[in-house]
């Protein structure tokens, strides 16, 4: 009996071709061919898929480890601000916005791209920490029909650097300050 190297079928000793898959079992001189064509590894498709999946998993784990170890934590990141409430820092450029009006008013103050809203009556004061801003924008509007003056002032180090007012009923006023 001769075992076919391709399909493993047991053929009769006189067979030149495999009876199952027609693989050539002898050469032109009638000598039996070596059952192995090459001495390399012979892996099935399933084993190859498992090896490729194992390599992919190892690569993903390695990438995840490298990514997580190279990212800054919250304490060293420049993009994350943490505050435990115990530290009080004074800004390098402390600005104060003051709204004065004998009635109800509504205002927006701060960086033109990030305005903080506030409403009140009478005199209102808001500390603006503008150290990183290029501009300061303040706007206020009357919320009643009083014709008294609505005044907004921008203070820097306790000195008025910009001021604007209106006496119109329902009027609004604004300041755009570039420093």
pLDDT digits (tens, 9 = 90+) for 148-167: 898 999 888 788 888 999 98
Spans of all domains in the chain: 2-70, 94-178
Q: What is the enclosing helix (H) or strand (E) of 68?
A: helix 45-70
Q: Tell me the pLDDT band of 78, cut-offs 50, 70 and 90.
A: low
The Cα 16–Cα 34 span in angstroms is 13
- Residue carrying the six token digits 């050469």: 27
Q: Tell me the pLDDT band of 130, cut-offs 50, 70 and 90.
A: low
Mean of all residue pLDDT scores within the chain: 79
Provide the 3-class DSSP secondary structure of residue 69.
helix
Residue 85 has pLDDT above 60, yes or no: no
């Amino acid at each position: 009996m001769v075992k076919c190297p391709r399909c493993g079928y047991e053929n009769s000793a006189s067979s030149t071709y495999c009876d199952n898959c027609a693989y050539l079992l002898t050469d032109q001189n009638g000598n039996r061919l070596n059952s192995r064509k090459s001495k390399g590894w012979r892996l099935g498709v399933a084993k190859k898929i498992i090896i490729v999946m194992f390599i992919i998993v190892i690569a993903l784990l390695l990438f995840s480890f490298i990514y997580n170890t190279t990212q800054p934590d919250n304490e060293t990141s420049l993009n994350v601000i943490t505050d435990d409430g115990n530290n009080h820092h004074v800004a390098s450029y402390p600005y104060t916005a003051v709204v004065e009006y004998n009635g109800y008013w509504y205002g927006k103050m701060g960086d033109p791209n990030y305005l903080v809203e506030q409403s009140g009556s009478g005199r209102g004061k808001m500390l603006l920490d503008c150290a990183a801003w290029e501009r300061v924008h303040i706007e206020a509007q009357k919320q009643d029909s009083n014709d008294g003056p609505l005044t907004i002032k921008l203070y820097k180090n306790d000195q008025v650097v910009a001021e604007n007012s209106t006496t119109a009923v329902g009027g609004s006023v604004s300041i755009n300050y570039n420093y």
